Amino acid sequence: MLRVSRNPAVDTALKLVATAVLMFSFVFVVMVPLYNVLCDALGINGKTSGQAYTAAPAGIDESREITVQFIARNNDGMPWAFNPGDRMLRVHPGAATSTVFHARNPLPKAMVAQAIPSVSPSRAAEYFHKTECFCFNQQPLDGASTAEMPLQFIVDRDLPRDIKTITLSYTLFDVTDMASDAVAAR
Amino acid sequence: MGDHHHGPAKGLSRWLFTTNHKDIGTMYLWFSFAMFLLGGTFAMIIRAELFQPGMQLVEPAFFNQMTTLHGLVMVFGAIMPSFVGLANWLIPMMIGAPDMALPRLNNWSFWILPPAFLLLASTLFMEGGAPAAGWTFYAPLSTTYAGPSVTIFIFCIHILGVSSIMGSINIIATVMNMRAPGMSYMKMPLFVWTWLITAFLLVAVMPVLAGAVTMMLMDVHFGTSFFSAAGGGDPVLFQHIFWFFGHPEVYIIILPAFGVVSQIIPAFSRKPLFGYDSMVYATAAIAFLSFIVWAHHMYTVGMPVAGELFFMYATMLIAVPTGVKVFNWITTMWRGALTFETPMLFCIGFLVLFTIGGFTGLMLSIAPADFQYHDSYFVVAHFHYVMVAGAVFSMTAAVYFWLPKWCGKMYNETMGKTHFWISFIAFNVTFFPQHFVGLAGMPRRIPDYSLQFADFNMMSSIGAFVYGASQLLFLYNVIATIVAGKPVSDDKVWDGAEGLEWTVATPAPYHTFEVPPKIDPAHAHF
């Protein structure tokens, strides 16, 4: 038994202080990463992976077609015009498909945006793979100019058969204030 | 030995520098009562605004500040410190210890509280007003959309977290190291047991709350994105962290109340507590379960069905140990020689109303039904049944029960009973109709409502004003007792009371159990 003080109550107290410190760090080093890992792994909240999908193609499932819907919306106070190029596509699982989103910055100043994706139903999130996406990076745009932002995706062949429609929604955030200098300089 | 048996110092410095557990307990109790009145004032403003539909008295922004401060002050300023005060007064006397294990720490954990709440109250006068995101301060309402007062709010939470943790450490260290010889764990009074378990809960989860507000601080000032979706964070994460603290927190509030009731009901039933061992195990079981049910507060955030089911079943499981407790209290009263003095009345009121609150809790635990109840007045009714009729009623019972021991004078029984009946009726008039308006769809935290809810809201407001006023009767009774109550000379103030605290002189001397008491090995438990 570790003894620091002649008073056993002080020993008890020190152990409890250590417990409290441990619980404080638990929030940062366990809860936050664990939450993010779980959300990514299980597609909770419709979160999709933040990285490009690189697995080898496993062939196209011609037997069924999935409807993929695209939604673009702005977060509170974001002035850009932001729209999907295609409102809806019908795709075979396993087939790589491309589409674009249109963005226009109506203000005279350069801004930086970040799009946050969400897939519905959230069960489908882990089967929706993006091989290329504008949402992987912050998107700078000069004042009064437009951009076409590409998206390439594959719906996994293992998508549960009861899912016929997947909705991919992007919310665009104004991150000009917090954008890294590297992006701003580009 | 001469200066060993000294009495209290004179003047203000007695209270500022005291390390005596009784002095510190007294200060905690008075402080918490002051906070109870402050939080009550906020509640009166809320009920005055809701007296009639339409915008009546205050601006919506101020109304939000009132609901937020009411919750924060009542939870962190009134209920929690009141039970810490009770623990300070009673735990050393109940286990036969001369004082708390770490008396100077004890002084410090009390004295950092008043400045913290002074700061919190001062935000009312800041530009932008006090925090207004609700007592649960969900992000991004409390980060991106918060006023400048959020920084002071975070600082306050840190201070009172530190105070709670230090208080808990002291309680655990006292119970583990300072019990009189022969006072084994399974002989300790149930109040000591429930506080020991509560203290462990506090040490485990107050740092989690500190972590949550630290992340808020970093999001607001240092450009991190823990809770901001734009930077890759997630506002739902805040809710998970908050409720990982928040659910154990509600048991932190109610477990000491269980302990109080377990001391008082046997005294006025003149029977030992029924099922002592099962009470201890039930308390421990509730504490354990409190860590795995947090997401039942957030059924509507879009969890997978498996998650909803897990949290639903785990939550329902809590009804089992809680039921054990309720049945044990009833069985303790069964065929007892019952008398109905004020403390007993408040305990029976607790038993009836807490059980109603428990049942509505069970209704809320049903995930599919909760989608209807969520954020409605039904939830408000539920948690006031367990917080007010649970924690506050039992705390009131405790004051009436131990006050004669503390000050050596008897309170006015007629006034006490009047206080009980007014409180009991007014409480129900206030909160029972809120079940109905909640089920009919009235949302909480909104300063205006649809006309169909007008009658029930008027009832609620009238009940609230009467309930609030009846607490002034309580204050008067306590002061009148201390100043001019009828002296009590019996060590054992109540003929059915058991426990070491009743073996010392009345009023309790400044120093007790400087020599540990002899404990009869044949005594089953206290």
Domains of chain B are 16-502 (1.20.210.10)
Q: Is residue B249 annotated as a catalytic residue, yes or no?
A: yes
Q: In a mutagenesis test of the B interface, which of A6, A23, A169 is the best target, namely the one with the most B β-carbons within 10 Å?
A: A23
Q: What is the 3-state secondary structure (H, E, C) of B87-138?
A: HHHHHHHHHCCCCCCCHHHHHHHHHCHHHHHHHHHHHHHCCCCCCCCCCCCC
- CA B508 to CA B92: how far, in whole Å? 12
Q: Is residue B70 annotated as a catalytic residue, yes or no?
A: yes
Q: What is the pLDDT of residue B2?
A: 42
Q: Residue A181: is its pLDDT beyond 90?
A: no
A residues 67-86 lying closer than 8 A (beta carbon) to B: 75
A residues 1-30 lying closer than 8 A (beta carbon) to B: 7-10, 12-13, 16-17, 19-24, 26-28
Is A88's Cβ below 8 Å from some Cβ in B?
A: no
Distance between A182 CA and the closest CA of chain B, angstroms = 16
Q: In a mutagenesis test of the A interface, which of B157, B165, B308 is the best target, namely the one with the most A β-carbons within 10 Å?
A: B165
* pLDDT cut 70: percent of chain B above it: 99
Chain A residues inside the 8 Å CB shell of B105:
13
Closest listed residue to residue A101, CA positions, set A113, A83, A79, A123: A83
Interface contact flag, A23 B203, Cβ < 8 Å: yes
Token pair 């939080």 in the structure block, residue: B39
Interface contact flag, A122 B177, Cβ < 8 Å: no
CA distances to A88, B95, B215, B295 from B501, in Å: 75, 8, 44, 41
Question: What pairing do the DSSP bridges indicate for beta strands A145-155 and A128-133?
Answer: antiparallel
Residue B460 makes CB contacts below 8 A (sequence gap 6+) with B47, B50, B429, B430, B431, B433, B434, B437
Q: In a mutagenesis test of the B interface, which of A4, A22, A27, A28 is the best target, namely the one with the most B β-carbons within 10 Å?
A: A27
Q: How far is CA B493 from the centre of its chain?
A: 26
Report residue B229 as tokens: 């979706």
Closest-CA residue of B relative to A113 is B230
Is A116's Cβ below 8 Å from some Cβ in B?
A: yes
Q: Residue B6: is its pLDDT beyond 70?
A: no
Closest-CA residue of A relative to B215 is A28
Tens-place pLDDT, residues B400-441: 999 999 999 999 999 999 999 999 999 999 999 999 999 999
HSE-CB at B330 with a 13 A cutoff on CA atoms is 9
Identify the bridge partners of residue B468 per DSSP, sorted by sequence position.
Answer: none
Tens-place pLDDT, residues B270-324: 999 999 999 999 999 999 999 999 999 999 998 888 899 999 999 999 999 999 9
Residue B202 makes CB contacts below 8 A (sequence gap 6+) with B164, B165, B167, B168, B252
- CA B96 to CA B74: how far, in whole Å? 32
- pTM equals 0.92
CA distances to A9, A49, A101, B174, B253 from B94, in Å: 18, 57, 71, 11, 20
A31 vs B101, B173, B241: nearest CB: B241
HSE-CB at A102 with a 13 A cutoff on CA atoms is 10
CB B208 within 8 A of CB B244: yes
CB A70 within 8 A of CB A168: yes
Q: Residue B141: is its pLDDT beyond 60?
A: yes
Closest listed residue to residue A36, CA positions, set A23, A49, A52, A55: A49
Average pLDDT over residues B238-246: 96
- pLDDT confidence bin for B392, thresholds 50/70/90: very high
Considering only the C-alpha atoms of chain B, give the largest distance between any 2 of them, rounded to a whole number of Å: 73
Q: Is residue B296 annotated as a catalytic residue, yes or no?
A: yes
A residues 40-59 lying closer than 8 A (beta carbon) to B: 42, 44-47, 50
Closest listed residue to residue B499, CA positions, set B174, B180, B86, B188: B188
Q: What is the pLDDT of residue A183?
A: 52
At the top level of CATH, which class does the domain A48-185 belong to?
A: mainly beta
- pLDDT confidence bin for B340, thresholds 50/70/90: very high
Q: Residue A104: is its pLDDT beyond 80?
A: yes
CB B349 within 8 A of CB B283: no
Closest listed residue to residue B493, CA positions, set B418, B392, B402: B402
Q: Is residue B518 annotated as a catalytic residue, yes or no?
A: no
CB B21 within 8 A of CB B511: no
Q: Is residue B325 annotated as a catalytic residue, yes or no?
A: yes
Average pLDDT over residues A46-61: 76
Interface contact flag, A13 B176, Cβ < 8 Å: no
Tens-place pLDDT, residues B174-224: 999 999 999 999 999 999 999 999 999 999 999 999 999 999 999 999 988
